[in-house]
Chain A
Amino acid sequence: MRIRFRAAALAASAAALFPAAWAVIAAMPPFGEHVSPYGAAVNAVVPAARHVSNMVAAVNFDLRGLDTLGEESMLLCAVTGTVVLLRGARGEGTSGSAVRLPGRAIAQRSDATILVCRFAATLLFFFGVYVALHGLVTPGGGFQGGVIIASGLLLLYLGEGYAHWRSIVRGRILSFLEGAGALLFVLVGAIPLALGKAAFRNILPLGTLRDLYAGGTMVVVNAAVACAVAGGFTLILLEFMEETRAPETEREPGEGG
């Protein structure tokens, strides 16, 4: 489709939809005045019913755990699709040195970068574990902690270089983490079914309010989601990084990693 025709179609549809959009905007309740009954019910009932203080994590991992299982499988499918697409065209082997782009100087990694990245990657890793662990009492949770762990692992690449990074962060461990997280989530939903109760029912002891390990099966689901998200994101970034590596035959003799 030519660009002028596309722009004209866009303008026509915008002109046609604009009165409808304006009618919807006028019919919405004023900003900040509307209290949704489901949210108010969750805020009133859940601290006493589930002994957790983070309502968002309670909704994600217990009250609407089935939706989060759907999101988890979307994560799994997207990561699998990315890996299959990129690895299928490239092959399974790994390589150490990057492709030389013409006209680009190869900068040496400075000592300051290496030092700062070592500190920061370690700090980020532990901070991610902290955020994931405290997900049920303070803002945080498996999703946030998992992504922080993934970004910490990627900062490690900046400091160590590709060959050392691949020896620390292995693809098989990441795949195992991701699959184990998803499987644990499914098990938490299926085991109550096998015991004769409803799926995703909270069968573990609930604990006391504001305790770190309160919440029953929510603690398990939180950990499973953190593992799966950390493994999934690092695996995606690893596959993309592999795309920029030179194949073994293109390396000049005497060239290091």
Chain B
Amino acid sequence: MSVLPWCVAAWLFAVGIYGIATSRHYVHLVGCLSVCQSATYVLLLAVGFHWHAGPPIFYDHPPGTPAVDPVVQALVLTDIVIGATVTALLLAIVVQAHKLSGSVDPQRLRPLRPNA
């Protein structure tokens, strides 16, 4: 139990990389990238966690009650929202690549050549 979050984070990242490397559809590839991102969220939040501590909100509890780390939560919070925006940008690139080449298969798309 004391190493489970680190193992889960490493597992999620490895599974995401495997999905990216063996993908046959670009939209599926972007989904696997989001799995890689969720690995970092799990890692960061597990680093800040402390047993028998509450959330870092002092509205009902007086300031001074044990609370988990708010700095990593701030990092993950902005990370989630901005990660969704970057996913949107990647999907726009996928749509454009499909329009230009006619395929969404990563195995079929060749790098652009200047005289092609």
Contact = CB atoms under 8 A, between A and B. Distances in A.
Direct contact of A and B (CB under 8 A): yes
Interface of A: 3, 6-7, 10, 14, 21, 24-26, 28, 30-36, 38-40, 42-44, 47-48, 53-56, 58-60, 64, 67-68, 71, 74-75, 78-79, 81-82, 85-86, 89, 137-139, 141, 143-144, 146-147, 210, 229, 232-233, 236, 239-240, 243
Nearest to A48: B63
Q: Label chain A's interface by main secondary structure.
A: helix
B41 interface: no
Size bracket, chain B contacts: 35 or more
A42 B85 contact: no
A172 B111 CA distance: 36
Interface string B80-92: 0110111011011
Contacts of B96: 85-86, 89
Nearest to A79: B85
A109 to B, nearest CB: 26
6 contacts: A10-B17, A43-B70, A48-B63, A56-B56, A59-B70, A85-B93
A7 B20 CA distance: 11
B112 to A, nearest CB: 16
Contacts of B67: 43, 55
B59 A243 contact: no
Contacts of B18: 10
A28 B74 CA distance: 22
A59 B50 CA distance: 19
- Chain B interface secondary structure, helix, strand, loop or mixed? helix
* Minimum-distance CB pairs A-B, first 5: A39-B69, A30-B2, A55-B70, A55-B56, A47-B63
Contacts of A33: 2, 50-51
B85 A68 contact: no
A80 B6 CA distance: 36
B99 A39 contact: no
B77 A56 contact: yes
Contacts of B59: 53-54, 137-138, 210
Interface string B54-66: 0111110001100
A44 to B, nearest CB: 7
Contacts of A59: 70-71, 73-74
Given A10-B17, A32-B2, A56-B56, 8 more contacts: A10-B21, A31-B1, A56-B70, A60-B78, A78-B89, A82-B92, A143-B77, A146-B81
